[in-house]
């Protein structure tokens, strides 16, 4: 959530940068400032009423003591009127603040200056790309056919048990899932991230804190009886660990990693791009989350990008890194880099990670702050990244490494799988 200070003091920049996201923020900001002006005026009037009440309350006792009963009674009558007026002003003040906050939460985060203009994913900037491998031999299969051939993923059984988008992993397929999770967590913890194991359901406050609510409630599975939400990513519970917390500056940076299943309704998804593992309703993902001082957060983002890149390299997958344009960047992000790996059989790029800096946007919602050496309290910056999401990694591993003798397992992964080939 944008801060009121940001909206008022950086009004022109906010309008200009949000236009990069395709948002015409000027009319909304005008209403926000009008509500804030009204709120400030009401607060001044309320402060005046309360000050007069306090002064008269002190005076009444003195008037009675001096035998000036008539003046004391008049003062009491005035206090009664002031209390009624104060009550009305407090209600008007709450209503103005509610209207203002309801407008503020509709505004997305302001993209940083290097976020390029653009309306769709086709206009994202490629900042790095590795050479593509030689074409697969004729007769190479897409991963969903390979999964059936080797009996490692059963999509039909998942439909029977739950529905489309809930595959069942079997044998070496299940072992590969477990190995990738362990491999990712191992690399993250060695890089200084503390592993946590959070709940898979969160309350409404947690969904609001990281920006999924009210923006993405239609994409989340909702347990209506308890008003809980199944998590779309570990980012939500892990970042919310520090909701309503004031950290000591010496505790920063905070680095956390977590493995969780993730649940997404993916409403409206259809067609060839959602076949097999390309888009699921339930999938496994390992996440990294950081809480940083504002002055360090973009160096931290670069570190996270380099860390994710090192893992993809170990998996021996061709990849590219994209800087997302305004039209493709998320509601909450100020800057995002996407990682995509090459799917050799499908001949297309598959997104496997997003690494983002949210600056103070989430922290303002979370009331996540830190106290510096000078005792000043300010909002922290939050960042997160997929490290990594499993389904499309598995798809690329299966397709890119298929041989007449089975599917080859990358060398870095063999200690975690216990086998070097799926047969």
Q: Which residues are catalytic?
A: 264, 279, 351, 354, 392
Q: What distance in Å separates the CA atoms of residue 306 and residue 19, rounded to the nearest whole number?
A: 30
The tokens describing 313, both together, are 């390299």
Sign of the alpha-carbon torsion through 393, 398, 399, 401: positive
What lies within 8 Å, CB to CB, of 254 at 6+ separation is 242, 247, 289, 290, 291
Helix, coil or strand: residue 211: coil
Distance CA 121, CA 328 (A): 6
**CA-to-CA distance for 113 and 99, rounded, in angstroms?**
30
Q: Is 362 helix (H, G, I), strand (E, B) or coil?
A: helix
What sign does the dihedral 103-109-115-121 (CA atoms) show? Answer: negative
- Cα separation, 234 vs 286, whole angstroms: 8
Q: For residue 123, what are its two tokens?
A: 């206009």
Distance CA 309, CA 187 (A): 12
CA separation for the pair 275, 278 (Å, rounded): 6
């Amino acid at each position: 959530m944008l801060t009121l200070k940001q909206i008022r003091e950086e009004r022109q920049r906010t309008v200009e940068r949000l236009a990069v996201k395709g948002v015409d923020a000027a009319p909304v900001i005008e209403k926000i400032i009008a509500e804030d002006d009204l709120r400030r005026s009401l607060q001044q009037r309320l402060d005046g009423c309360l000050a007069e009440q306090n002064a008269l309350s002190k005076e009444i006792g003195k008037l009675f003591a001096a035998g000036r009963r008539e003046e004391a009674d008049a003062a009491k009558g005035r206090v009664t009127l002031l209390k009624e007026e104060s009550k009305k002003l407090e209600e008007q003040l709450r209503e103005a603040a509610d209207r203002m906050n309801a407008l503020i939460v509709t505004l997305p985060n302001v993209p940083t200056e290097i976020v390029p203009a653009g309306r769709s994913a086709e206009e994202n900037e490629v900042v790095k790309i590795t050479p593509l491998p030689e074409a697969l031999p004729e007769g190479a299969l897409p991963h969903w056919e390979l999964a059936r051939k080797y009996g490692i993923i059963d999509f039909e059984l998942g439909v029977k048990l739950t529905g489309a988008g809930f595959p069942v992993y079997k044998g070496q397929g299940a072992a590969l899932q477990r190995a990738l999770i362990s491999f990712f967590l191992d690399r993250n913890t060695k890089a200084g991230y503390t592993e946590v194991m959070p709940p898979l359901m969160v309350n409404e406050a947690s969904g609001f804190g990281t920006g999924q609510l009210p923006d993405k409630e239609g994409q989340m599975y909702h347990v209506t009886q308890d008003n809980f939400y199944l998590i779309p990513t570990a980012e939500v519970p892990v970042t919310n660990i520090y909701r309503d917390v004031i950290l000591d500056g010496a505790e920063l940076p905070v680095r956390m990693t977590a493995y969780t299943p993730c649940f997404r309704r993916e409403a409206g998804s259809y067609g060839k791009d959602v076949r097999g593992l390309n888009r699921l309703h339930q999938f496994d993902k390992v996440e990294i989350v950081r809480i940083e001082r504002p002055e360090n957060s973009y160096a931290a983002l670069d570190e996270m990008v380099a860390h994710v890149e090192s893992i993809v390299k170990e998996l021996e997958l061709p990849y590219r890194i994209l800087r997302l344009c305004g039209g493709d960047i998320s509601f909450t992000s100020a800057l995002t880099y996407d990682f995509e790996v090459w799917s050799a059989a499908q001949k297309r790029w598959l997104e496997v990670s997003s690494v983002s800096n949210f600056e103070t946007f989430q922290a303002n919602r979370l009331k996540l702050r830190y106290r510096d050496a000078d005792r000043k309290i300010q909002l922290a910056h939050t960042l997160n990244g997929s490290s990594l999401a499993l389904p499309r990694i598995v798809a690329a591993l299966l397709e890119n490494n298929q041989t007449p003798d089975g599917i080859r397992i990358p060398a870095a992964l063999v200690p975690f799988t216990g086998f070097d080939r799926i047969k």
